[in-house]
Amino acid sequence: MNKDIQSIVLTEAQIKEKVAAAAVWLDKRYEGKNPLFISVLKGSVMFFCDLVRAMETPVQMDFMTVSSYGAGSESSGMPKIVMDLAANVKDRHVVLVEDIVDSGYTLQRMKELMSGRGAASFTTVALFDKPARRKVDIKADYACFEIGDEFIVGYGLDYAQQYRNLPYVGILKREIYEK
């Protein structure tokens, strides 16, 4: 285990189970609908790739980079679109794939954006939900795993751009982000 990790939240095997369950949930809803799956980069990259490969339904994929943190562990409250989609979402069934819903600002921003651009429907799937930290009244339609007020890293999730390539998800030692 990485020396900066206090404890493991999800092992690789547990992640795989959560992803498989989310894929079943999505397959039921999107068969025959040609959905557009959007990965909110960078945090959702691992989850996104595993999720679409676990699905039976053919999907189209697009990517958007949204940044809300700078280098810290608190959301700035104003998620910034660093890289926009290539696809036109008008009349599309959009599925937004997020790593984690924390304050909810990112999700709220995406929801407004997609409805403003005329998406036919908008569904959100998140690997993690951190409900204790919510600042706006919003929820992912499907969340794989609920966690308390801990800062987690790995499997795409970072702290200051580090730890994204850990194959598991763990709680980061406080001394790392409080120093």
Binding site for Mg ion (CB under 5 A): 43, 99
Residue 103 binding: pick among Mg ion, ligand IMP, none (C-beta 5-8 Å cut-off by kind): ligand IMP
The yes or no reply on residue 110 touching ligand IMP (CB under 6 A) is no
Nearer to ligand IMP, 7 or 28 (CB): 7
What does the alpha-carbon distance between residue 25 and residue 48 come to, in Å, rounded to a whole number? 15
Place of tokens 């999505």: 26
Inter-CA distances, 116 with 88, 106, 119, 121, 166, Å: 12, 15, 8, 12, 36
Nearer to ligand IMP, 88 or 165 (CB): 165
The yes or no reply on residue 105 touching ligand IMP (CB under 6 A) is yes
Nearer to ligand IMP, 92 or 130 (CB): 130
Segment lying near ligand IMP (by CB under 6 A), choices 15-23, 46-54, 55-63, 99-107: 99-107
Question: Does the N-terminal peptide bond of residue 42 adopt cis geometry, omega within 30 degrees of 0?
Answer: yes
CB burial of 42-52 (b: ≥16 within 10 Å; e: otherwise) equals: bbbbbbbebbb
Residue 63 binding: pick among Mg ion, ligand IMP, none (C-beta 5-8 Å cut-off by kind): none
The yes or no reply on residue 151 touching ligand IMP (CB under 6 A) is yes
H/E element, 89:
none
The yes or no reply on residue 129 touching ligand IMP (CB under 6 A) is no
Q: Is 102 a catalytic residue?
A: yes
Active-site residue list:
102
